[in-house]
Amino acid sequence: MSVPGPSPAGEPRASAFDLAGLLSARGHEALPLMDRHVNPAMAAVLRTIGFDQNYVRGEGAYLFDNQGRRYIDCLGGYAVFAGGRNHPVIRDAIRQAMDLNLPNLPGVGTPRLAGLLAEELVRIAPGDLPKVYFASGGGEAVDAAIKFARAFTGRPKVVFCHRAYHGLTVGALSANGNHEFRESFGPLLEHTREIPFNDLRSLEHALFDDDVAAFIVEPIQGKGVNIPDRDYLRRAKDLCRKHGALLILDEIQTGLGRTGRMFACQHDGAGESWQPDLLVIAKALSGGYIPSSAVLMRDDVHAATFASMQQCSRIQNTFGMNDLAMAAGLATLHVLRDERIVEHAAEVGGYLRERLAARLAGLEMVKDVRGRGLMIAIEFGRPASLALRAGWSLLHKLDESLFCQAVILPLMNDHRILTQVAGHRLDVIKLIPPLVLSRADADEIVEAFDRTVRACHRLGGPVWEVGKKLGAAAMKRLAPARKG
Ligand SMILES: Cc1ncc(COP(=O)(O)O)c(C=O)c1O
């Protein structure tokens, strides 16, 4: 590589960096590089299940591979694309932020965009949550929320739900109700307690000693797409208030339109006037571009941590208020409003859910189709007929998520629809596409599910073959470990 020398005019001259050229020369090496340097186990999974497509472009609700094939993206980068992939307005806002040579990250100084985004978030948030703390990742924001709650209450304990997912930083992991994620990373935070989701009696029991700082909960659980009873949040907040605990609402996945309301807690169960004590958002706030998260909270909760000038930076991070993230957040909120994306998510999501439920009705392995807006679950269950039950048991003995994997594969390979299992040991497929999904896309998804799920009701059909193949691959991978 040549070292740039001064230009004839004496100005330093940087050699151009050619990203498109780099990708065109080496983009096809993504999988071997992942194997070598990033995550060989993940590379092996992608190869085994045939999810090693060479994607070269994303647009709206679609991904495109290097053969020009289009995929409907029902995973949406784990629910970050409210406005769709590469939304031109959000992209342009980030470009503008760069072209303006903004005084990014002044450190000790006033960031110009953070206050504007905070003001917007406070305006759309439920109730009165006037203070905003910015961070970059969801887990990082959850950790901060736990600290704010502990500082305010002077109490140690955090209560969380079975199957809860709040991230994998050590604080958030300590409140993770999926034990697969916790194993081998302990000891985690002390003074945490897991209770069943949607169970007020257990919550009251956990709060009884008045030593709980916070109850942290998702309005709809991401792992499994579990929807609580209509008045669960309202009554949980009442219990928290009675026992002096704060309610931290994790809307990292559900917030900013995902469920067909700006926030999932605004669905009618809780009521318009309901509000948590702390509200955590992330994912879609990024515009699908720049990692960004925020904790909105009551004035007094914020003031307990930042109680004096000496304490003004007790909770902080380097990148939270960076200008590109703030510009992406402001542009995302603009797009949600301007294109009525929240209303669209409610409409298309309702249409997709109803069509799926109607087409899959009566199939003995389909247990439930549920969700809100564009957060939809298709849950399978043990079949009644003897022959199917034998196949079902065999796959579950090999691996408890295998049945869904066997459905997901033909959805990808035969129909080019990218989906995911909704968590470990679950027979649930989750759809969280970009919120710009169209009715025509929804029709395609319904057709693909109908064909694939019907095929798995024919024993010995392609789905079972795929299941057996995956099961064999899983056993093969386990073999050397067992020997050792
Ligand atoms: C509800 C919820 N909370 C927290 C997180 C963690 O966010 P991050 O992966 O940005 O740390 C996630 C991520 O999937 C989530 O869905």
Q: Where are the extended beta strands (E) located within 120-271?
A: 131-135, 157-161, 192-195, 212-217, 246-250
Phi-psi map region of 371: left, alpha, beta (phi>0 left; psi -120 to 50 alpha): left
- On whether both 381 and 460 belong to a single domain, the answer is yes
The whole-number pLDDT of residue 106 equals: 93
Q: Give pLDDT tens digits for 372-412.
A: 999 999 999 999 998 889 889 988 988 888 899 889 999 99
Q: What's 206's domain CATH number?
A: 3.40.640.10
Residue 316 lies in a domain: yes
Q: Residue 2: its pLDDT value, please?
A: 44
CA 129 to chain centroid: 23
61: domain CATH number?
3.90.1150.10
Q: Evaluate whether 480 touches 403 at the Cβ level (below 8 Å).
A: no
Domain C-terminal end among 338, 370, 396 = 338
In a domain, 6, yes or no: no
Nearest residue (by CA) to ligand 1, atom 8, is 138
State residue 483's pLDDT score.
34
Atom of ligand 1 nearest to the CA of 78: 14
How far, in Å, CA of 407 to CA of 464, rounded? 9
Ligand 1: residue of 283, 292, 317 to mutate (most ligand atoms within 8 A of CB) is 283
Q: What is the pLDDT of residue 469?
A: 73
In Å, how far from its chain's centre is CA 37? 25
Domain range for 157: 89-338
Taking alpha carbons only, the member of 160, 253, 165 closest to residue 207 is 160
Task: Indicate if ligand 1 lies below 6 Å from the C-beta of 166.
Answer: yes
Ligand 1 near 164 CB (within 6 A): no
345 with 311, same domain: the answer is: no
Q: How far is CA 304 from the centre of its chain?
A: 30
CA distances from 232 to 46, 133, 146, 279 (A): 39, 27, 21, 16
Examine the fold and report which residue of 310, 338, 366 is the final residue of a domain before the chain moves on. 338
Q: Which atom of ligand 1 is nearest to the CA of 139?
A: 11
Give yes or no for a contact between 146 and 158, defined as CB atoms under 8 angstroms apart: yes
Instruction: Give the C-alpha separation, 295 to 277, whole Å.
Output: 10
Q: What's the pLDDT at 441?
A: 98
Residues of the chain with pLDDT under 50: 1-5, 478-484
375-380 sheet: strands from edge to edge:
366-372, 375-380, 428-431, 420-421
Q: Choose the final residue of a domain: 338, 353, 378.
A: 338
* 291 within ligand 1 shell (Cβ under 6 A): no
- Residue-level pLDDT at 109: 92
**Going by C-beta distance under 8 Å and a sequence separation of 6 or more, which residues neighbour residue 376?**
225, 349, 352, 353, 356, 369, 370, 430, 431, 432
Q: Does the CB atom of residue 143 touch ligand 1 within 6 A?
A: no
Q: Do 147 and 292 form a contact (C-beta atoms < 8 A)?
A: no
Question: Treating both helix axes as pointing N-terminal to C-terminal, what angle do 323-338 and 114-124 enclose, rounded to 10 degrees?
Answer: 40
- Distance, in Å, from the CA atom of 65 to the CA atom of 75, rounded to the nearest integer, reads 16
DSSP string, 416-460: -EE-EESSTT--EEEE---TT--HHHHHHHHHHHHHHHHHTTSTT
The pLDDT of residue 165 is: 98
250 lines ligand 1 (CB under 6 A): yes
Residue 335 DSSP SS3: helix
Collapse the DSSP code of 278 into the 3-class scheme (helix H, G, I; strand E, B; otherwise coil) and give the result: strand
